[in-house]
Amino acid sequence: MAGLVAAARARELGLDPVVHEKGTRPGGSMLLSSGVVWRHLDWQEMRRESPRGDERVQRLVHERLDDGLEWLRMLGAPVLEEDTANPLTTGKRFDTRGLTDALVRAVDEVVLGREAPLGTGEPTVLATGGFGASPELVDRYIAPAAPLRLRASPWSTGDGLAHGLERGAALSAGLDEFYGRNMPDTSWTEAEFVSRSQLYARRARIFDADGVEFFEPAQVSWSETNVVQATARRPGARAYYLLTQKALEHPEVAGRAAPLLPPEALPFEAPPGIVAAVAVVASITHTIGGLRVDERARVLAADGSPIDGLYAAGVDAGGVAAGGYASGLAQALVLGLAAAEAVAAG
């Protein structure tokens, strides 16, 4: 999304951009998402949610998102819902296929199946989606107990990070953090990334495969990002959600918890009152750490100076949500716009 946004805005500003898409389709992980682009209603809540994040870039996302959403609408991106269902946030839900198509029309030139020609001297916006699809980099920086299942585009393998480091870029906070979901410990397809997410941790008791209850329901954040990060560091990056009858009947759980296991199928003795369990596995959607950028999406060197002609948008720009969670799609939209405008300004 970030690369398409940057190119579309650059074309509006009179530039002649080209998107080089490594994959076989445009849209990246945005195409596979729920399509909700949001921000926290309250600025201080965003800071509380992600206290280790870069405050300058966080404020940019918070202040520019609403205008960015209207810009997407003007491009013809179809809005499915005019606001979020979360009282802490505001935003819009887009049809991801329609959003991708609208951006591609605005870009005009998208080269598929080819990595960008780097080192040409032309301004470059890195928008490769982080490094969640690189087992090597995930193991190096995030250090899960076992390989994480991928819940995202298979092409986000850290190319932006690698090029930035070659150019002397500094790394952000949050390199050991990621956004993802606990998913059923079964097989699932791209079309099921959203529908099969097991989002009811606060209604469950959470145990690892050794029978250790490692996460209290009261600790579960509203996004459940802290639960999946904790699961990633348990044996096998797996866990069990244990459910009472009352929990099974709760609207957040009913119809989503699957497949159900009887208590006797667990590898440990279930506590009293447990009537069913779901085996889950940690999955990664995108990384949170990456290249340090400023509020103009310029990639920064270790001394804080911008690297000439190099920009990063989306989650290639790291550290925005460090310590918590914020909308990756909002980050893609706002930093994509900022990068294009910075290139145009020279």
Average pLDDT in the 22-43 region?
96
301: which strand partners? 169
The yes-or-no verdict on residue 27 having pLDDT over 90 is yes
Q: What is the pLDDT of residue 116?
A: 87
User: Burial, 119: exposed, middle or buried (Cβ in 10 Å; 0-12, 13-18, 19+)?
Assistant: exposed
Dihedral sign, Cα of residue 237, residue 254, residue 327, residue 95: positive
Residue 48: pLDDT over 90: yes
Q: Is residue 163's pLDDT more than 90?
A: yes
Please name the CATH architecture into which domain 2-177+288-345 falls.
Answer: 3-Layer(bba) Sandwich (3.50)
Which of these, 27, 29, 33, lies nearest to 197 by C-alpha position? 33
Token pair listed for 13: 């500003």
- Cα–Cα distance for residue pair 27/11, rounded to 1 Å: 18
- Report the alpha-carbon distance of residue 183 to residue 46 in Å, rounded: 26
pTM of the model: 0.95
pLDDT of 114 reads: 86
Helix (H, G, I), strand (E, B) or coil at 96: helix
Banded model confidence at residue 132, pLDDT cuts 50, 70, 90: very high
CATH 3.50.50.60 in the chain is located at 2-177+288-345
pLDDT digits (tens, 9 = 90+) for 184-206: 999 999 999 999 999 999 999 99
